[in-house]
């Protein structure tokens, strides 16, 4: 439904959409038209219109007792990205996991009056809010259900598209079962701590990625919830984050940062504005001891200098570890590693070497991501890093020139 009541909000909506088109966030005329049509501020009354139309800003709609956001209207950039990945068509039967109202309205514009849109959420407060806003803004045809997504989407039949707007660690069998063969699932999937919005097409009982984009979402609640584990060092100043697995002897890292630091530099550089998401995925794929390191901003003594203090790519090797760092030279930055522990130099050089491999063999490529049923034997999986979850065996597989690398396997802790 077009908003014609307020020239200011219409201008804000047009400017937001134009900016996303210019930045390449919106690439199709149909997604552009949907964003020009749906009045986002009406689905985000918690924010000012100016904030509602900021391209990079999500609007929190509910927080828990600790003040942590548990539901939000995602940033326009993220919604545009996922809708482009989903490639919705007129007349399709589509569904959304995680309700906010605005995204469902965009989906309704894309599938048209002949299509069907269903949105679900585990939280009744969220679905009541979504139902109210959808009805008030002319999208009463969108179906809204309060249900845990782990068991699927009720009353829909075979789905052409399923978009998940909550961070998922696994892919429940019900989601694949409800997709038509060739149907598409777009899901923010966490793999070894890294989240990517993956557009999967169904191919029988497996899913095959068509694209994967960096993203961030509030985490899934209910039966599909999965918490990462933290290994705290130097009190609580530094934490190693593990999504799957856990060090065999976590106590071996006690005092690791009291040792002398070793440095290694790769010679690999990027422009300061250049993304390097492929490097992140490569290191998560190839390093057996891969984890993420975070530094508490309130407790930071400046001892470590990670490339990203919230989630730095790191390598654990027995009682030693290394993390990725950078040094700047003008408008470019060189990747390197800082190592600590008895094998500080060795572990730092191991991390540096894989950065060089990425630069040499994979800088211009992205992996294909597969999701197979968890019961699939190893011999039936493609080459790549295998991450075994409760429902799925996810395989991160790089282009043919690197398939000489022997497949390795992670196993979820029981």
Q: What is the pLDDT of residues 334-387, one digit of tens each?
A: 999 999 999 999 999 999 999 999 999 999 899 999 999 999 999 999 999 999
- 1 within some domain: no
CB-CB contact of 395 with 374 (8 Å) = no
184 lies in the same domain as 202: yes
Q: What is the pLDDT of residue 388?
A: 95
Q: For residue 34, give both structure tokens.
A: 């949907």
Q: Which residue has the higher pLDDT, 411 or 123?
A: 123
81 lies in the same domain as 184: yes
The pTM (predicted TM-score) of the whole model is 0.91
Whether 180 is a known active-site residue: answer no
Q: For residue 329, give both structure tokens.
A: 């030279």
Q: What is the pLDDT of residue 401?
A: 52
Q: What is the pLDDT of residue 69?
A: 65
124 lies in the same domain as 182: yes
354 lies in the same domain as 373: no
76 φψ region: left (φ > 0), alpha (ψ -120 to 50), beta (else): alpha
**DSSP letter string, 207-274:** EEEEEEEE---PBP-GGG----EEEEETTTTEEEEESS---S-GGGGTTGGGSPPEEEEEEEEEETT-
The string of pLDDT tens digits covering residues 78-122 is 999 999 999 999 999 999 999 999 999 999 999 999 999 999 999
- 215 within some domain: yes
Q: For residue 217, give both structure tokens.
A: 């979402």
Mean pLDDT, rounded, of the chain = 92
161 lies in the same domain as 301: no
Reply yes or no on whether the pLDDT at 5 is more than 60: no
Q: What is the pLDDT of residue 58?
A: 87
Neighbours of 191 (CB within 10 A): 22
Which range marks the domain in which residue 402 is found? 368-411
CB-CB contact of 79 with 59 (8 Å) = no
Domain final residue pick, 224, 244, 279: 224
Alpha-carbon distance 133 to 101, whole Å?
A: 6
Q: 406: which DSSP letter?
A: P
Q: Which of 28, 57, 71, 74 is catalytic?
A: 74
Alpha-carbon distance 410 to 163, whole Å?
A: 27
24 lies in the same domain as 124: yes
3-state secondary structure of 112: coil
- 157 within some domain: yes
214 lies in the same domain as 236: no
220 lies in the same domain as 233: no
209 φψ region: left (φ > 0), alpha (ψ -120 to 50), beta (else): beta
132 lies in the same domain as 219: yes
pLDDT bin (cut points 50, 70, 90) of residue 400 is: low
């Amino acid at each position: 439904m077009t908003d014609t009541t307020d020239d200011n909000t219409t201008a804000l909506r047009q400017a937001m959409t134009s900016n996303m088109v210019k930045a390449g966030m919106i690439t199709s005329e149909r997604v552009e038209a949907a964003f020009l049509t749906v009045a986002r501020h009406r689905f985000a009354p918690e924010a000012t219109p100016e904030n509602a139309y900021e391209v990079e800003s999500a609007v929190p709609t509910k927080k828990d007792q600790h003040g942590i956001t548990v539901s939000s209207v995602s940033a326009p950039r993220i919604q545009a990205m996922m809708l482009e990945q989903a490639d919705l068509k007129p007349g399709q039967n589509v569904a959304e996991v995680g309700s906010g109202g605005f995204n469902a309205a965009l989906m309704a514009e894309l599938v048209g009056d002949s299509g069907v849109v269903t949105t679900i959420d585990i939280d009744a407060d969220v679905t009541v809010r979504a139902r109210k806003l959808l009805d008030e803004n002319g999208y009463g045809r969108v179906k809204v259900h309060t249900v845990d997504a782990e068991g699927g989407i009720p009353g829909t039949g075979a789905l052409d598209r399923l978009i998940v707007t909550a961070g998922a660690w696994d892919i429940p069998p019900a989601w694949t079962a409800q997709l038509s063969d060739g149907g598409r699932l777009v899901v923010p999937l966490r793999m070894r701590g890294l989240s990517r919005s993956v557009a999967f097409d169904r191919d029988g009982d497996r899913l095959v990625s068509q694209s994967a984009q960096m993203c961030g979402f509030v985490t899934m609640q209910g039966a599909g919830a999965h918490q990462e584990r933290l290994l705290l060092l130097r009190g609580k100043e530094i934490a190693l984050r593990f999504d799957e697995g856990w060090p065999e002897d976590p106590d071996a890292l006690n005092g690791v940062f009291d040792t002398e630091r070793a440095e290694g530099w790769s010679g690999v550089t990027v422009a300061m504005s250049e993304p390097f998401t492929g490097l992140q995925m490569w290191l998560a794929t190839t390093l057996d001891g891969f984890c993420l390191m975070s530094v508490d901003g309130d407790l930071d003594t400046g001892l470590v200098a990670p490339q990203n203090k919230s989630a730095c790519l790191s390598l654990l090797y027995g009682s030693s570890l290394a993390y990725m760092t950078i040094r700047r030279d003008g408008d470019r930055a060189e990747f390197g590693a800082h190592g600590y522990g008895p094998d500080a130099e060795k572990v730092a050089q191991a991390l540096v070497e894989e950065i060089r491999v990425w630069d040499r063999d994979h800088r211009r490529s992205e992996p294909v991501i597969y999701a197979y049923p968890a019961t699939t034997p190893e011999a039936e999986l493609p080459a790549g890093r295998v991450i075994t979850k409760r429902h799925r065996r996810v395989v991160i597989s790089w282009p043919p020139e690197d398939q000489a690398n022997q497949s390795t396997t992670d196993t979820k802790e029981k």
